[in-house]
């Protein structure tokens, strides 16, 4: 595998609105990010992904961009952004931004022009399509509920396409002028010194222009628009063109938000010559999707979860790297989702971190993950902001759930779980802002916050620091980055374990964790324990002595260990 500059990096996603507010207006901003760079450096972060900071009406929290060349006023100025780039560079850190080009905002001048002038060139920047038999062109359901087709006011039987909200019209990638505009914009940012992009909702850019309807899959008589995304082919041409004229010449790092990819296309996407440097591994998160929505999702089953990660890891072996996450701004908190009730504690959080961060691939942390932030409960739907949550809440009510049940569904699945303000300290509003935060802070900030954990040697935060440092430790770095992933002890019901091994060396590292409630004893058959590198409960010495004595290790509930072993 050809080595690339980003292979050994650890990334961190910032959701700027909720990260740190530097001027007391209740909204996190660039000044806030700037003042926390040293915090991130100290944590061991190399690459920072900023969720959208462009000018936007914020219908979908900035994923609806009205000017790709401007910073939203609430986040600060272009000068501050340039300072951020420079300050990151000084610290050997890289900034990447969100690239949201499947759609723009309905407030973007392109769309406003398109509406105003049916004969003008901007009509062709979007999908304006005639209806069929007095109906919209197809029966696709948008990601946020309802039809993807919005009638154009004042024009009979004409619709425009929006895969997300109606305020996010889809850009017409078939139009070479649109692509040119997009590439120009990408290069403008790269020329500033940006290291790359996280590429939003990218699978949606390719449309089947026949817009054939599918068998309805819900009470609303509509069919999920992902059916079209899955059926259509040819997206690779767009992605290759974009790469050739933007990312490649700049050696930029790209991470795709890829859903609904055809399995056999993995190499095209993240192989050495792939469309992207890497793409997120969402396989575990897909397990939390219900057939019709959040309301009919089932809780995580440990064995299924373990098998999903194992399969996903093995599939990438010899092809490329996936970007490993436990959460992001679209997901509930990882600890609330993937840990059973009895593991909802610091040991459990550290255990989840251990098995996740040492997987083969590029780790991406999401803000607050490093202190073990959890989901946030609300007693009224009005306390939520997210457009997706509000849709899913009503979907749940329509399906017959009570108000209490529907709120519980939001508690376990809402995208706002990841968007509550970062918990910096035990002072008012978690030290996030001196004003009123745009979204209420999770009341558990008294016990879960950065300041407290910085002062506690055995905190989740300090454990994350150790874990990241271990991944980068010179003696093991090569193995953690380029070593293979080999699943282990899968015959146990509650053990998640794997080896990382590097060809042509004797080096082998065992990562093992007990997600069960009872202790488990694992036999290190034909393996000599050399050293315990890390353990979440502080019993390194004991476990080494045990392994050295009888070749067994006993892991208590929620215990995780990282051990160097050699073959006999
Ligand atoms: O998400 C793309 C996407 O497909 C989401 O609808 C995802 O399936 C959902 O959030 C899971 O609950 C991206 C962004 O990450 C998201 O925040 C935006 O809302 C969306 O694109 C539109 O830009
Ligand atoms: Ca602010």
- Give a yes or no: residue 510 inside a domain: yes
What per-residue string of b and e applies to 347-379 under the rule 16 or more CB within 10 Å gives b? bbbbbbbbbbbbbbbbbbbbbbbbbbbbbbbbe
Token digits for 274?
A: 């792939």
pLDDT of residue 507: 82
Judge if 45 and 141 occupy the same domain: no
d(CA 348, CA 559): 8
Q: Counting atoms of ligand 1 from 1, which one is nearest the CA of 331?
A: 12
Question: What is the Å distance from ligand 2's center to 438 Cα?
Answer: 10
pLDDT value at residue 475: 95
DSSP string, 340-382: -GGG-SHHHHHHHHHHHHTSSSEEEEETTGGGT------SSGG
Cα angle 339, 344, 349 (rounded to 5 degrees) comes to 70
**Residues 435 and 525 reside in one and the same domain:** no
Give yes or no: residues 493 and 514 share one domain: yes
* Residue 314 located in a structural domain: yes
Q: Are 174 and 129 in contact (CB under 8 A)?
A: no
Domain co-membership, 286 together with 140: no
Residue 56 shares a structural domain with residue 132: no
- 42: in domain: yes
Question: Residue 525, class by beta-carbon neighbours within 10 Å (0-12 exposed, 13-18 middle, 19+ buried)?
Answer: exposed
d(CA 353, CA 373): 13
Q: Is the residue at 432 inside a domain?
A: yes
Q: Are 95 and 34 in contact (CB under 8 A)?
A: no
Which CATH number is 552's domain given? 2.60.40.1180
Number of domains composing the chain: 3
The response to whether residue 64 sits with its C-beta less than 6 Å from ligand 1 reads no
449 near 425, Cβ under 8 Å? Answer: yes
Residue range 528-541: mean pLDDT, rounded: 95
List the one residue out of 418, 416, 421 whose CA is nearest residue 443. Answer: 421
Looking at 414-556, list the stretches that DSSP marks H as alpha helix, in order from N- to C-terminal side. 450-454, 460-472, 474-482, 540-550
**Is residue 337 located within the same domain as residue 454?**
yes
Q: If residue 141 lies in a helix (H) or strand (E), which one and from where to where?
A: strand 140-141
Return the H-helix or E-strand segment holding 316.
Answer: helix 302-316
Could you identify the residue written with the tokens 């002595």?
545
Q: What are phi and psi of 72, to 5 degrees?
A: -60, 140
Closest listed residue to residue 20, CA positions, set 398, 543, 431: 431
Average pLDDT over residues 178-207: 98
Q: Provide the pLDDT for residue 372.
A: 98
Indicate which residue of 257, 386, 520, 559 is catalytic. Answer: 257
Model-wide pTM > 0.75: yes
Range of the domain at 505: 481-567
Ligand 1 pocket residue status of 415, Cβ below 6 Å: yes
Please say which residue of 463, 490, 517 terminates a domain.
463
Question: How far from 141 is each of 147, 161, 227, 393, 484, CA to CA, in Å?
Answer: 5, 11, 10, 16, 41
- Please indicate whether residue 370, judged by its CB atom, sits closer than 6 Å to ligand 1: no
Q: How far is CA 257 from the centre of its chain?
A: 8
Greatest extent of the chain over all pairs of C-alpha atoms, in Å: 82
Mean pLDDT of 20-47: 98
65 and 142 share one domain: no
Q: Is 257 a catalytic residue?
A: yes
Q: Which ligand is nearest to the CA of 19?
A: 2
Cα–Cα separations (whole angstroms), residue 531 to 466, 507, 561, 563: 16, 12, 11, 6
Q: Which pLDDT band holds residue 294 (cuts at 50, 70, 90)?
A: very high
Mutating to test ligand 1, I would choose from 200, 227, 294, 332 the residue with most ligand atoms within 8 A of its C-beta, which is: 200
> pLDDT per residue over 208-254, tens digit each?
999 999 999 998 999 999 999 999 999 999 999 999 999 999 999 99
Share of the chain above pLDDT 90, in %: 98
Domain co-membership, 326 together with 261? yes
Check whether 568 has a pLDDT greater than 90: no
For residue 155, what is the domain's CATH number? 3.90.400.10
Domain presence at residue 219 = no
């Amino acid at each position: 595998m050809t080595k690339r500059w980003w292979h050994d990096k650890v990334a961190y996603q910032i959701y700027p609105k909720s990260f740190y507010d530097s001027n007391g207006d209740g909204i996190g901003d660039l000044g806030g990010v700037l003042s926390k760079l040293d915090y991130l450096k100290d944590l061991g972060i190399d690459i920072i992904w900023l969720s959208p900071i462009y000018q936007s009406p914020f219908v979908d929290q900035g994923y609806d961009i009205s000017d790709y060349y401007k910073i939203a006023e609430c986040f600060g100025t272009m000068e501050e952004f340039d300072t951020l780039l420079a300050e990151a560079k000084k610290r050997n850190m890289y900034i990447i931004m969100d690239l949201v080009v499947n759609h723009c905002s309905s407030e973007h001048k392109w769309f406003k022009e398109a509406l105003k002038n049916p004969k003008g060139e901007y009509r062709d920047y979007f999908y304006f399509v005639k209806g069929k038999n007095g109906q919209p062109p197809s029966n696709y359901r948008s990601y946020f509920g309802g039809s993807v087709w919005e009638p154009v006011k004042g024009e009979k039987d004409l619709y425009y396409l929006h895969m997300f909200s109606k305020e996010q019209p889809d850009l017409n990638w078939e139009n070479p002028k649109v692509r040119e505009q997009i590439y120009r914009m990408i290069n403008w940012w790269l020329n500033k010194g940006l290291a790359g992009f996280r590429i939003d909702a990218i699978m949606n850019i390719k449309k089947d222009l026949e817009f054939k309807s599918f068998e309805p899959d819900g009470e609303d008589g509509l069919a999920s628009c992902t059916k079209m995304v899955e059926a259509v082919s040819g997206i690779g041409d767009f992605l290759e063109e974009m790469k050739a004229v933007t990312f490649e010449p700049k050696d930029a790092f790209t991470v795709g938000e890829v859903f609904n990819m055809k399995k056999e296309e993995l190499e095209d996407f993240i192989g050495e010559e792939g469309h992207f440097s890497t793409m997120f591994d969402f396989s575990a998160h897909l397990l939390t999707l219900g057939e019709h929505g959040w309301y009919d999702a089932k809780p995580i089953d440990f064995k299924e979860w373990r098998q999903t990660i194992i399969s996903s890891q093995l599939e990438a072996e010899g092809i490329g790297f996936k970007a490993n996450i436990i959460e992001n701004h679209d997901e509930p908190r990882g600890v609330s989702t993937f840990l059973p009730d009895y593991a909802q504690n610091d040991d459990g959080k550290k255990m989840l971190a251990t098995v996740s961060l040492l997987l083969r691939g590029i780790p991406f942390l999401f803000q607050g993950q490093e202190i073990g932030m959890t989901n946030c409960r609300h007693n009224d739907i009005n306390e939520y902001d997210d457009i997706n949550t509000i849709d899913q809440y009503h979907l749940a009510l329509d399906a017959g759930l009570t108000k209490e049940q529907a709120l519980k569904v939001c508690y376990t699945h809402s995208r706002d779980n990841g968007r509550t303000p970062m918990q910096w300290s035990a002072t008012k509003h978690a030290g996030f802002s001196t004003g009123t935060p745009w979204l209420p802070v999770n009341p558990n900030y008294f016990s879960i916050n950065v300041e407290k954990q910085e002062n506690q040697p055995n905190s989740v935060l300090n454990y994350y620091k150790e874990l990241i440092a271990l991944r980068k430790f010179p003696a093991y770095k090569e193995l953690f980055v380029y070593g293979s992933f080999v699943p282990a002890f899968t015959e146990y019901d509650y053990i998640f374990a794997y080896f990382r091994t590097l060809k042509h060396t004797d080096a082998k590292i065992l990562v093992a964790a007990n997600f069960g409630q009872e202790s488990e004893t694992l036999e290190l058959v034909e393996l000599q324990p050399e050293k315990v590198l890390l353990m979440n409960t502080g019993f390194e010495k004991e476990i080494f002595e045990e392994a050295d004595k009888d070749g067994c290790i006993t892991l208590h509930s929620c215990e995780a260990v990282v051990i160097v072993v050699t073959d006999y």
